[in-house]
Amino acid sequence: MRLLFLGDVVGRPGRVAVSERLPELKRRWSLDCVVINGENAAGGFGITEGICDELLTAGADVVTLGNHSFDQREALVFIERQPRLLRPINYPATTPGRGATLVDTSTGARVLVINAMARLYMDPLDDPFSAVDRALLEAPLGRVADAVIVDFHGEASSEKQAMGHFLDGRASLVVGTHTHVPTADHQIFDGGTAYMTDAGMCGDYDSILGMTKDEPVRRFVEKTPGSRLEAASGQGTLSGIAVETDDRTGLAIKVAAVRIGPRLSPALPEFWEG
């Protein structure tokens, strides 16, 4: 199975990059499942129903979220009627929405997608390790799910690596989101799980984490309150990770970084490009 995960979509540049590039990538690479983190898609803060529909129309099978899940208050309502939009599974049980879903692909295979949020330097939610563990017990890889993708939204690389090793052999892909900076550690663990500490962002990299540069710099220099952060408006770059799995086990056999755009050095999955 061919899986593509794209990191945090930040503002209009990220949305345009997805809308313009993903349909062709899905066709060219014969992708079975695409997951996109959309928690910064609405001007850098949260997601609206219209933007969620835009990402799904572009080719996403599931949209995941994170600490900005409900910055747009309408998300509290429409997340209940959109089964392909996930918020972190370790939110309190009374939080609207869901943290995991099974997606049927065009070939009849089923992909379990789980969204969880880390706790180090983040909002203190419930234990993400036990929450993900419970979801995998309900739909284990190789028995209920033909592939498993886990988006672990967090700040600390150590916590993300711990989740990757905790799930090694039980997930096809464990990928971190939230820091908006793509890491260079994409690999396949000994148990067969593909891993990357952070997928980076889909957005304008001539920025500070997707935001216009002046206000973040001023805050660091002057240490005083200022104006609201605004998403940068330059050309967007796609960042993410591509994984091919063994149809028999659901575990990863190939992994590559994906970077397509004007600012970062390009990266493509050569095993699909040849």
- Average pLDDT taken over every residue of the chain: 97
pLDDT of amino acid 137: 97
**Statement: residue 274 has pLDDT above 80:** no
Higher per-residue confidence, 160 vs 124: 160
Range of the domain at 76: 2-273
pLDDT band for position 111 (50/70/90)?
very high
**pLDDT, mean of residues 104-114:** 96
Domain count, the chain: 1
pLDDT of amino acid 236: 97
pLDDT of amino acid 211: 96
- HEC secondary structure over the chain: CEEEEECEEEHHHHHHHHHHHHHHHHHHCCCCEEEEECCECCCCCCCCHHHHHHHHHHCCCEEECCCCCCCCCCHHHHCCCCCCEECCCCCCCCCCCCCEEEEECCCCCEEEEEEEECCCCCCCCCCHHHHHHHHHHHCCECCCECEEEEEEECCCHHHHHHHHHHCCCCCCEEEEECCCCCCCCCEECCCCCEEECCCCEEECCCCECCECCHHHHHHHHHCCCCCCCCECCCCCEEEEEEEEECCCCCCEEEEEEEEECCCCCCECCHHHHC
**pLDDT, mean of residues 146-154:** 98
**Statement: residue 259 has pLDDT above 80:** yes
pLDDT of amino acid 119: 97
pLDDT band for position 223 (50/70/90)?
very high
Q: Which of 68, 178, 180, 186 is catalytic?
A: 68
pLDDT of amino acid 245: 98
CATH of the domain at 115: 3.60.21.10
Specify whether 68 is catalytic. yes
Q: What percent of the chain has pLDDT over 90?
A: 98
